[in-house]
Structure 1
């Protein structure tokens, strides 16, 4: 990735959501026909997308925001795990979309890691068919899909190796839930892959973002709504992702009928390490 000066937002604002003041940042051309909303994952904030924003340039209007647990977004009760529930994250997304000045049409959503995980919830909403033109998901499966896949594989002994393999990749998730030990896991998470280039993570983002896992993983792996997505969707699967098995996309087409799967020779932070490829894919030029 070529090093360059990070792009500066030409506008920024705060939008009120349920129990949170969400920090929003705008880049690119406000009069562009295409509006893109970027949703980051853990342990990042919106700055993770600076290389991608630079690669998009003036080809689109770009809106990025800090999700709960990251960056400048402030929660009324940050120590309350329920503040990080997927339902609240979905409300944040719609609040951001509704806050975009002079928005003339549906937005194209690009999300990574926990940004992708959380986006499957608002895409269940009927308004998504009107207000979201497309969705690009990178390394962030639906928890509801994972629940169905895990149950199905648990009943099929020949698929147990795949299930066990994914459990091994998810060691950090279970570590986040262990009292006392959990506070050491974020640092171990970041250092686990020294050859996996990633944006610099702040101690604040590492510590606060843990609540995303505590608020949602166990709860939604036990029970939750059926996955559903009627928005045109592209799932990007980095072949060398150290956190997610490439075969987790199995069966997604059952509930996301307008689906394209793109496999890339990259690691977990593909949007950060390959911003030009990500921009071209997002803008339909790949």
Structure 2
């Protein structure tokens, strides 16, 4: 099936965001938010499985794909999580001004949606949130603090495991990352990297032609948010129903690091899937099925 999409532009704080809408215009609205170094294209196969029931909305986050790069000199400000959350709210206010939306998000897309759903009143704008491979950074910071302040062998092992999985982050926030990526990264090489970690190469059109520039621009997400949230985590709670799709073969996010969110949500469900970080590319039908099932459960519960 080929999913027809209509492109529109949503502006937040002077940043133009490319938004793509398709599927069933009479169905509930499902917004999908991608992470690094992806664009809305990563969701195409998932969206095709859901388009008969849902009005599917995807957008390129700021500085990625067809969306604009902020003009601010201080990228640590313009890529901070509160700005990214405001982008998300601007998109959902535009595509569904009167009804709350369902959300599926991955990686940095999930991190910024976590920021949004913990804002006051978010439950009136977001009906459900399915999260993959992107924790709430405040919850993650609290998890690390508690594990280190009250150590047990299991807690220390989990913390070390997540530290090893996150060992690429210091490079990403360093001045070397941009030049190195521009030198060595290509669309085809990245496809092979994803294939080697996931056990199967994604389709070529799952990655945008802007991939290398998206990689470099996306480093600002790490530089603006990674260490300050970990050092000063806040208490962040949400009443939005949350589904954690826990990818047990994820090379970046370990399952133990996600459990902290249970303490800060009124309703959180976990489903473990034996796949890697880019399950949306390798097993889109499974991601679609679990998301649809959770949405149905929240609508019945509500």
Query: Distance between the aligned counterparts of 2:14 and 2:164, measured in 1?
Result: 35
**Aligned equivalent of 1:73, options 60, 67, 70:** 67
Query: Distance between the aligned counterparts of 2:251 and 2:89, measured in 1?
Result: 31
Q: What's the TM-score, normalizing by structure 2?
A: 0.86
Corresponding residue number in structure 1 for 2:166: 170
Corresponding residue number in structure 1 for 2:44: 50
SS at match of 1:257: coil
The answer to whether residue 129 in structure 2 is matched with residue 161 in structure 1 is no
Mapping of residues 1-286 of structure 1, within 5 Å = 5=2, 7-9=3-5, 11-32=6-27, 34-77=28-71, 80-81=74-75, 82-100=77-95, 103-155=97-149, 156-158=151-153, 159-181=155-177, 183-184=179-180, 190=190, 191=193, 194-196=196-198, 197-198=201-202, 199-200=206-207, 202-284=211-293
Post-superposition shift, 1:71?
0.8
Q: What's the TM-score, normalizing by structure 1?
A: 0.90
Query: Is the contact made by 1:122 and 1:128 (CA closer than 8 Å) also made in structure 2?
Result: yes
SS at match of 1:42: coil
Post-superposition shift, 1:203?
0.6
**Alignment size in residue pairs:** 279
More helix by share: 2
Post-superposition shift, 1:78?
6.2
Corresponding residue number in structure 1 for 2:300: none
Instruction: Evaluate the alpha carbon distance shift between residue 181 and residue 51 of structure 1 in structure 2; reply closer, same or farther with a 3 A threshold.
Output: closer
Query: Is the contact made by 2:62 and 2:70 (CA closer than 8 Å) also made in structure 1?
Result: no
Query: Is the contact made by 2:139 and 2:233 (CA closer than 8 Å) also made in structure 1?
Result: no
Shift >4 Å, 4+ stretches:
185-190
Which runs of 5 or more residues in structure 2 are unaligned?
A: 298-302
Q: Which moved more, 1:208-217 or 1:159-168?
A: 159-168
Query: Distance between the aligned counterparts of 2:265 and 2:280, measured in 1?
Result: 22
